[in-house]
Amino acid sequence: MNFQQLRIIRETARQDFNLTEVANALYTSQPGVSKHIKDLEDELGIEIFVRRGKRLLGLTEPGKELLQVVERILLDTQNLRRIADQFASRETGHFVVATTHTQARYALPKIIKWFKADYPKVHLTLLQGSPNEIAELLVSGQADVGIATEAVNKAPELTSFPFYSWHHAVIVPHGHPLLNEKEITLEVLAEYPIITYHEGFTGRAHVDKAFAEAGVVPDIVLSAIDADVIKTYVGLGLGVGVVASVAYNPEQDRNLSLIEVPHLFPANTTHLAVRRGTYLRSYAHAFIEKVCPDIGEEAIKAALKLPSSQD
């Protein structure tokens, strides 16, 4: 048994049992992948994968349990390297933060600027994606920290901490009739075409839920994954925008007006998440504490521990 065999088992599950993709991901040959799998099965005396001819269709029952152990072994191997790096060089390393466009654009700039000033020798990578993609990057170990409003606080492999709470707001061009309304209700808002976030992004579920519970059907004419696109089309007069209030900057959005409507939609909470069982370098702890100042390092370490049944 060797680490390459374990990596192949994990990658086979990740690549939906496509051995060509496994070989490409691990920079090896497909026959080599097949041989490693067969050698491990022979050594353990079990079949790990369900087969139809030469094709792999899924995991057998023992294969499912074996994959969980493989994931833990490879995670602990990664942790060993991080511990060694931590004591060999405390101020250098590679730190990967996965987040959405909205958080990267509006919530994180000051924190990223602080981090680069305090840890200039740490190479910081900022990956942008959907909340589900961010959760997958964390689970797979491709990202150290994830920040999003959806998904990351629900994955069982992750632990999350609240970053900040926020509300949706309405943006309109200057002179728009909504600016003269004494009270904006969902019914009033639904009289206009609406431009907002795509499903699964930046609290869209709360927007849909509010309209549904009120029995109001909005005319959503355009949806996008980031606020900058929404603001562009609102500025062109294609509709009124429903965006995160933090996405409005009066200096940069001079052609638009913001209408605060915290009574219309439920509050949203953006979370910072990390994978359970991960060993974090000191600069990663510092970053988390900067984002979530009410959480100390010991509380973070306790939250990162695997449940006792998996220890």
Domain with 54 in it: what CATH number?
1.10.10.10
154 & 228 share domain: no
- Given 73, 104, 129, the domain boundary residue is 73
Model confidence at 39, in pLDDT bands (50, 70, 90)? confident
For residues 95 and 284, is the Cβ–Cβ distance under 8 A? Answer: yes
Model confidence at 69, in pLDDT bands (50, 70, 90)? confident
213 & 282 share domain: no
In a domain, residue 21? The reply is yes
CA distance 86 to 59: 36
187 & 254 share domain: yes
DSSP letters spanning 162-231: EEEEE-EEEEEETT-GGGG-SS--HHHHTTS-EEEEPTTSTTHHHHHHHHHHTT----EEEEESSHHHHH
Global pTM value: 0.72
Mean pLDDT of the chain: 90
In a domain, residue 84? The reply is no
Please give the pLDDT value at position 138: 94
In a domain, residue 240? The reply is yes
249 & 275 share domain: no
Number of domains composing the chain: 3
Per-residue pLDDT of 108-121, as tens digits, reads 999 999 999 999 99
For residues 59 and 13, is the Cβ–Cβ distance under 8 A? Answer: yes
186 & 197 share domain: yes
For residues 149 and 269, is the Cβ–Cβ distance under 8 A? Answer: yes
161 & 279 share domain: yes
190 & 251 share domain: yes
CATH number of the domain bearing residue 143: 3.40.190.10
Please give the pLDDT value at position 311: 41
CA distance 250 to 106: 13
Model confidence at 63, in pLDDT bands (50, 70, 90)? confident
55: Cβ contacts below 8 Å, ≥ 6 apart: 17
Flag whether pLDDT at 305 surpasses 80.
Answer: no
Strand order in the sheet with 220-224: 220-224, 194-197, 240-244, 168-173, 256-260
In a domain, residue 297? The reply is yes
160 & 274 share domain: yes
Residue that wins the pLDDT comparison between 296 and 196: 196
111 & 238 share domain: no
Give residue 48's domain range.
3-73
Flag whether pLDDT at 105 surpasses 80.
Answer: yes
- Whole-angstrom CA distances from 266 to 170, 230, 269 are 14, 20, 10
111 & 240 share domain: no
Amino acid, res. 273: A
For residues 224 and 239, is the Cβ–Cβ distance under 8 A? Answer: no
Q: Is the dihedral of CA 250, 252, 255, 256 positive or negative?
A: negative
Model confidence at 300, in pLDDT bands (50, 70, 90)? confident
Model confidence at 310, in pLDDT bands (50, 70, 90)? very low
Model confidence at 1, in pLDDT bands (50, 70, 90)? confident
Per-residue pLDDT of 174-233, as tens digits, reads 999 999 999 999 999 999 999 999 999 999 999 999 999 999 999 999 999 989 999 999
In a domain, residue 42? The reply is yes
172 & 237 share domain: yes
Per-residue pLDDT of 153-166, as tens digits, reads 999 989 999 999 99
In a domain, residue 85? The reply is no
132 & 62 share domain: no
